[in-house]
Structure formats: C-alpha cells, structure tokens
Structure 1
C-alpha cells in the first residue's frame, strides 16, 4: 500500500488557514458543519481555571479547552482522502485542504495540561530535536563536571 500526498509548495503557501478544533469525540459524519454558529458562539473563557482556558459543551458533555500553537518549525496540514480505498492494501491519495498554525485542544470536564497524552506528543518534537543535536566535547565535559558536583552535594 502506498500513500500519495497531492500538494506542492505553492499550494501550501496559498492554502486557506483553518480554525481548527481537536475534540475528544468520534463523530460518524463527513460533511459540512456550521461550527461558527453552533459551537464557537457558545465558547466562553473560564477565568476560574486560569487565563487562556475555555469552556463549551458537546452533546451535553462539558468541554475544557485551550489554544495551542503548532510546534516551531512545523506546519499543521489538513489532508482529505480523494477516494475511499477498496481495501486496506489499496493505494491511497490525500490532497491538501487547508493549513493551521494553532488550534483549540479540548478535554472532557478537565483542564488541559501537559499530562494529557496529546500534549505530550506535541512536546516530543522538542525532545526529539534536543536528542538529535550534536554534542561537542566541551559541553560533555561541562555536564560530567556538573553531575560530579551534584553527587558530592547530595546526601
């Protein structure tokens, strides 16, 4: 099975920017949704939980949300499948439908935190970048010396 992405740099630059929401729900539907009228109009800031925390509801279930930025050096893409595959092993083709720099991340009935699995996945890009950076000998020797000092001072 192969996956073909149907876009180029020119399409990426002129793609429309989307107002994106990541919801903790599976919705069996593939059509237009009037998010502005039926969802965004009911989003309120929940100052009791700190700045930048929002509240709303989905089908009667309370939601707590926060705006998140796409990690630096990355770009959020929305891809749509052009045709439904005939089988799991069929080739698939995806086309670019929009881009985003930030999105609203929602949780059911709890304030979003770095303990959420989804937030931890976003943080992993920073961890991977730190692990991939080369270390020179001077930095390594300084870290070894710092660890020796910490071992001497700790009980």
Structure 2
C-alpha cells in the first residue's frame, strides 16, 4: 500500500486557515457542519477551572477544552482522502484541504492537562528537536565534568 499526498508549496501558501476542533468523539458524517452557529456560539470560558479553560457540550456530554498552538516551526495540515479505499492494501491518495496554526483541544468533563496523551504527543516535537541538535566536543566535555562534580557532592 502506498499513500500519495496531493499538494505543493504553492497550495500550502494559498490554503485557507481553518477553525479546528479536536473532539473526543467519532462522528459518522462527511458533510459540512455549521460549527459557528451550533457549537462556537455556546463555547464559554470557565475561569473557575483556570485561565484559558473553555466549556461546551456535544450531544449533551460536557466538554472542557483549551486553545493550543501548533509547535514552533510546524504547521498543521488537514488532508482528505479523495476516494475510499477498497481494501486495507489499496493505494490511497490524500489532498490538502486546509491549514491551521492553532486549534481547540477538547476533553469530556475533564480539564485538559499535561497528562493527556495528545498534549504529551505535542511535547515530543520539542524533544525530537532537542535530540537532533548537534553537540560540540566542548559541550560534551563540560557535561561530563558537571556530572563528575555532581557525583562527588552526592553522599
């Protein structure tokens, strides 16, 4: 199976910026939704839970959320499959439908925290960048010396 991404830099620059919500739900539907009128109008800030915490509801279930930015140096893409694959081994083609720099992350009835798997996944971009940075011999020797000093001071 192969996956083909159908976009280029020109498409990326011209793509519309989306108002994106990450919901803890699976919605069986593939059409337009009037999110502004039927969802965004009911989003409120819940200062009693902390700064930036939002509340809303989805089909009667309470939601708590917050606005998150895409990590520095990255850009969020929304890709849509052009044709439903006939089988798991079929080739797939995805096309760019929009971009985003921030989105609203929602939990059911729980304040978003660093313990959420999705928030931890966003932190991994920073970890990957830190691990991929080159380190000089001088920095390495300085770190070894610091570690030796720390072990001498520890009982």
Mark yes or no: TM-score above 0.5.
yes
Tell me which residue corresponds to 1:99.
99
Alignment of 1:1-155 (within 5 A): 1-155=1-155
Deviation of 1:66 (Å): 0.7
Gaps of 5+ in 2: none
The alignment's TM-score, normalised by the length of structure 2, stands at 0.96
Q: Distance in 2 between matches of 1:129 and 1:38?
A: 39
Q: Distance in 2 between matches of 1:126 and 1:35?
A: 32
- Look up the SS of the partner of 2:63 in the other structure: strand
- Look up the SS of the partner of 1:74 in the other structure: coil
Deviation of 1:47 (Å): 0.5
- Look up the SS of the partner of 1:126 in the other structure: helix
Question: CA deviation digits over 1:51-99, x for unaligned, max 9?
Answer: 1110111111111101111111111000111111111111111111000
- Look up the SS of the partner of 2:88 in the other structure: coil
Q: Distance in 2 between matches of 1:13 and 1:70?
A: 17
Q: Distance in 1 between matches of 2:150 and 2:111?
A: 36
Question: CA deviation digits over 1:88-145, x for unaligned, max 9?
Answer: 1111111110000000000111111111100111100110111111111111111122
Gaps of 5+ in 1: none
Superposed CA RMSD: 1.0
Q: Name the count of aligned residue pairs.
A: 155
Q: Distance in 1 between matches of 2:113 and 2:138?
A: 36
The alignment's TM-score, normalised by the length of structure 1, stands at 0.96
Structure 1 segments of 4+ aligned residues over 2 angstroms from their partners: 148-155
